[in-house]
Structure 1
Amino acid sequence: MTTSPHLSERALQEAAESAALLPAAQAAHLRGCGLCQGRVTTYRQLFGAAAQLPSPAFSFDLTASVLAQLPRAQPASPWVLGGVAALVVGVVVVFLVLFGGVLAQAVQGLFTVLGAGLGLVAAVFAAGQGLELLAQHRRHLRLLTFS
């Protein structure tokens, strides 16, 4: 198997971009080889001409075309949110039934009811956010299967 003493096409293209990219042996060959120097000059001219070309313009809206092919987002099922809210309310009611007397003695009056109401609202809100994150995660996973 014989090897060419000249630089490969890849090395010539790298030299056209910057001669500093070449290893020392290839740079030494380039300095002494008129054929390789001529090919590097040709690549530099080609790269310069390509850089001056105008950016391609499509005759259609590429963004709209791609977006039209993406699946539509569907909101999370409302029955799931209602089920989680009912579960949270059930847990709060059971907790209040079991420990309501202790809580009433510890904190008398309106603050107990207000705290329980705020806790319930916070729990329902957190559950809803968790379900929405889960729905977004599933949508993203479905999109990944298309790539």
Structure 2
Amino acid sequence: MTDPHLAFFSGLLWYLEARNWALEKIKSCPHGSHLFDVQMYHALYFTNLVSAFDHVSDHLKDDKAAQQAFIFRIESGFGDTGNWEYVRELRNAIIHRGLNPTSAAHGDGTSVFALCPVTIQNRWHKKSHTCTFRYMVELAGPLQSYH
């Protein structure tokens, strides 16, 4: 693949398809699921979500105005909740620090619902981030508007 635009779209398509696949698994996670599977679905969702955002931002690096507009659109889509910072640090904690994003969950006898970690700290443990949602599937739900 020598066309940089084709490579960009191919990469973006991969991230979004993987994210969508993981979300379907999160939404339909049956009670009694293997814990590794539950953790994998959630980790894949958030790592691919943020990777897609980063991929677009990197693609726009030569057009600073477009890059800043994209970043502003993503960040403002979360409002003043702090959820974007939480999602980004959640992804970083999963990838770089081995965080299990599903260490606590509730079940209703049919499905499993992973709880959002109460706080996520940055890598220096100097800043903590919280989220406005109780369940990971709720946090992922609003993020579907970015596809």
- What band does the TM-score fall into relative to the shorter chain? under 0.3
Q: By percentage of residues, which structure has more helix?
A: 1
Q: Which has the larger radius of gyration?
A: 1
Q: Say which structure is richer in strand.
A: 2
Which protein, 1 or 2, shows the higher relative CO under an 8 Å CA cutoff with sep ≥ 6? 2
Q: TM-score, normalised by structure 2?
A: 0.25
Q: What's the TM-score, normalizing by structure 1? A: 0.25
